[in-house]
Amino acid sequence: MKRSAAWRYFDQDDESDISKVSCTICGEVLSRANNTSNLFKHLKYNHNSEYKTVDAEKKEQEKSQANKRKATPKQMTMQSALGRGTTYPISSKRWGDITESLVGMIAKDMQPLSVVENEGFIKFVKELDLRYQLPSRSTITRSLLPKKYEKLKDAVKRELTQVKHVALTTDLWTSNQTLSYLTLTCHFINHEMQLCSKVLETLYVQKDHTAPNLAEELKNIAKEWEITQKICCIITDNAANIVAAVNLLGWRHLPCFAHTLNLIVQDSLNAVTGLPRLQKKCKDIVTYFHRSTKATEKLLSMQSQANTTTKPMKLKQDVETRWNSTFYMMERLLKLREAVTTALCLSGRNDLCLTNSEFDSMQQIVSVLGGFEKATREMSSESFISVSKIIPLVHLLQGALGGSSTPVVNESQSLESKLKAELKRQLKRRFSQLESNHTLSASTILDPRFKKIAFCSADNAERTIDRISAEACNIITNDTNESGTSMSASTTTQNNTEQSAYESDLWGSFDKKVAEASTHRSSSVESTVEIRRYVQEKNIPRQEDPLAWWKKHASTYPHLTELFKKYLCIPATSVPSERAFSKAGELVSKKRSNLKPSNIHMLLFLNNNM
């Protein structure tokens, strides 16, 4: 049935061909599809009065149909139908799964616990599933968060029971609530030869930060996690109280490599005449642009005019506690030299402009410190083996600085020469006994990328190899004793069948000494052969992963593999604990300024370990 009013003026001549119609007014034959659009168009442009009539009828029909649709009950969607039912019971699996994901999201994304009370979030959740009832903030705090924390804590504890050696990093920090916290992280190589990092504790420290108090807190955390006998090393910054605390505990200690480099560079910059003044002038320029909106707009405009293909850059500010921020500040000023100078002149601040000689000095500083910046950035990674790089990197930095082994600074030298000489002096002062530190030297030898090649002294390398061989010998001896298959036992059994009781009693103590000596000699030979075969193997390329190499060769060097796990799990820096409290800075924000220390600990634990 042809319902459209347009058919009043058209006929279909051939019933078999519905694509052709003719106009009853002018006789023109038109093509049409399965609609009347072409018919209306013909009337509009050729028969206007008839078009107005049928168009009015068309609008009336559409209005009538719309009213009918409104009156007809709309079929419910599946979601609406489900929403009319009851909410999920709290005991149901569906409610439990969604709620666990919710708590995980809050921890992982550092969301405030009050997010469950936000109107927009509630509406969003209802749109996803009408039957899900959000838990209250207090329910999350008192029940759900502790439950998820305890579950993950048990999993981490089980993981730690399977490893023999762990390394720790720790640092103290202050929240915006002016409360002091101590964060402790744990690092180990698991049985699958994966480097793992876990945040164990973020502890609210109420007592004074004295060495005995800090030692007591660290001791309690280690006891709680059952790792006291597994700690092979702890890495901290150079603060006197935390170093003294570690010494009180008798744990092996390494200073944070990045923190030591920071002290070396900052002391060198302050020691070279003229550099502190230049550094302050650069800081004043950046501060001015950060405080002046108009000046910043001029700076961005100058960059856009000079280069339309590169996105305009902002200046970087110097941070007193990080030397590399000085490097980045000067590097950025050099890149934007023309734009900065022009923007300062246009802003009437010619007094802040740097001279050509000052820019030249900055270029020399950036050139000299480039290697230190790369070393700091490379050693701050948690994902890769790093402690074995300390010895080769220090030697490379010393080599890049050139000059004599005992550099002398005098006024006739150029600024670049003065800075190099001072850096080399500071490196020598802080790393003079580098190759004598067994933890560092053993980790370097056991890294198949470096071995003996990284050492400046062949004697130091050989002494380290001998000590590693002795450690491997002890492992072999302990394994033999634990397995109950020592030579003394087998010898005694054999002799008992051949000797009389009298002879056995008479020679028993002597035979035992012979057996023990034979066992020791056998273990010593085995460990020596193992370490020598390993050292004689070709070094792998520096870009390759030592973890993958040891996983492949674990059966070939079983006792050295154990020592590899012991020494190479140690991070070179305390950056992991610093990263944890950087996240804490996001967590303890204005929206979450009333978080209890226990909740801060649980949220950081979940955030880092999930």
At 391 the three-state DSSP class reads helix
- 373, part of any domain: yes
Q: Are 602 and 566 in the same domain? A: no
At 270 the three-state DSSP class reads helix
- 538, part of any domain: yes
The least confident of 18-22, 103-107, 522-526 is: 18-22
Q: 315: which 2 tokens?
A: 């200046």
Q: Check: CB of residue 358 under 8 Å from CB of residue 278.
A: yes
CATH number at residue 596: 3.30.420
Sign of CA dihedral 345, 349, 351, 356: negative
According to the model, what pLDDT value does residue 76 have? 53
Say how far apart CA 242 and CA 546 lie, in whole Å. 31
For tokens 């600990």, name the residue. 601
Q: Are 60 and 143 in the same domain? A: no
Q: Are 289 and 392 in the same domain? A: yes
Q: What is the mean pLDDT of the chain?
A: 85
- 500, part of any domain: no
- Nearest-5° angle of CA 257, CA 447, CA 453? 90
Q: Are 280 and 417 in the same domain? A: yes
Read off the pLDDT of each residue in 274-278 and give the average, rounded to a whole number: 92
Per residue in 392-430, pLDDT tens? 999 999 999 986 555 555 555 788 899 999 999 999 999
Q: Are 348 and 358 in the same domain? A: yes
According to the model, what pLDDT value does residue 10 have? 79
Closest CA to 190 of 153, 157, 164: 164
- 122, part of any domain: yes
Report whether pLDDT(169) > 80: yes
Q: Are 346 and 397 in the same domain? A: yes
Q: Are 363 and 346 in the same domain? A: yes
At 170 the three-state DSSP class reads strand
Per residue in 550-608, pLDDT tens? 999 999 999 999 999 999 999 998 888 777 656 545 555 555 556 788 888 999 999 98
Number of domains within the chain: 5
Q: SS3 letters for 10-58?
A: EECCCCCCCCEEEECCCCCEEECCCCCHHHHHHHHHHCHHHHHHHHHHH
Q: Are 314 and 361 in the same domain? A: yes
Pairing of strands 10-11, 20-23: antiparallel
- 82, part of any domain: no
Q: Are 251 and 273 in the same domain? A: no
Q: Are 136 and 232 in the same domain? A: no
* Owning domain of residue 398: 261-403+413-432
Q: Are 474 and 553 in the same domain? A: yes
Q: Are 546 and 398 in the same domain? A: no
- 317, part of any domain: yes
- 439, part of any domain: yes
Report whether pLDDT(448) > 90: yes
- 311, part of any domain: yes
Q: Check: CB of residue 572 under 8 Å from CB of residue 257.
A: yes
According to the model, what pLDDT value does residue 494 have? 45
Say how far apart CA 196 and CA 573 lie, in whole Å. 15
Closest CA to 602 of 150, 155, 181, 182: 150
Per residue in 36-71, pLDDT tens? 888 888 888 888 888 888 888 888 877 877 777 666
Pairing of strands 231-236, 253-255: parallel
Interacting residues of 437 by C-beta distance below 8 A, sequence separation 6+: 254
Q: Check: CB of residue 218 under 8 Å from CB of residue 245.
A: yes
Radius of gyration of the chain (CA): 38
**Band of pLDDT at residue 485, cut at 50, 70 and 90:** very low
Closest CA to 199 of 578, 573, 566, 572: 578
Long-range contacts of 409-418 (CB under 8 A, 24+ apart): 409/271, 409/272, 411/273, 414/364, 415/272, 415/274, 415/275, 415/361, 415/364, 415/365, 416/364, 416/365, 416/367, 416/368, 418/272, 418/273
According to the model, what pLDDT value does residue 502 have? 47
Report whether pLDDT(496) > 50: no
Domain boundary among 66, 100, 118: 66
More confident residue, 287 or 578: 287
